[in-house]
Amino acid sequence: MFRAFIAIQLSDDLKRQIDRLQADLRRQVSKLGASGEIGWVKSAGIHLTLKFLGETEEAQVEALGAVLREAASKGEPFTLEARGVSAFPNVRAPRVIWLGLHGESRAMDALSRLQAAVDDGAVKLGFPKESRAFAPHLTLARVRDRRPGGPLERVLAESRDRVVGGWTAGSVSLIKSDLRPSGAVYTTLVEVPLDGGV
């Protein structure tokens, strides 16, 4: 058994831009004395999650690969822009700091269809259906402190319209997540291009 999820991986260029964004946010937060309460996600491991699977058996990898091929066969590459920093559940009491994803209506429709196809396919294999509406985002950090946002709220407000960069989503992947003391280590088990799965 291992933890797994299905995601779209980012371009190396966008990861570098996110790294710069995180460094800038860390500097701003540090000046306000709130940096110890935030666990930043390594930019190398940031991805657009389509479906968190949780505990997964080795025997399910082949069937999950078929789910990806089926979902990819109905899709095509699309371009997204990473823009706007905010937080879940809100900036006044942040728990997760995230970067928004935007695109032309055609791209957003393609992303929604892909996520729905992945979710439906995984449900047929016994994984639970997503209970929340899909909200495409990239997780930048997790806030450990349970106090209200305070200074962090100001930092997030100043970055709410910040444009980070774009990339073309060209494939969908099944990724294994190995949680270690140094942070999560991700291994791509299956990657399928969004071009009819060819």
CA 23 – CA 83 distance, rounded (Å): 16
Tokens (6 digits) for 110: 């393609």
Of 90, 118, 101, 75, the C-alpha closest to 163 is 101
Assess whether 47 carries a catalytic annotation.
Answer: yes
- Burial letters for 29-49: b for 16+ Cβ neighbours within 10 Å, e otherwise? beeeebeebbebbebebbbbb
Catalytic residue among 100, 137, 169, 194: 137
182 CB contacts (<8 Å, ≥6 apart)? none
Tokens (6 digits) for 180: 């270690």
CA 40 – CA 30 distance, rounded (Å): 13
Catalytic residue among 15, 29, 47, 51: 47
Assess whether 102 carries a catalytic annotation.
Answer: no
Q: Which residues are part of the catalytic machinery?
A: 47, 137
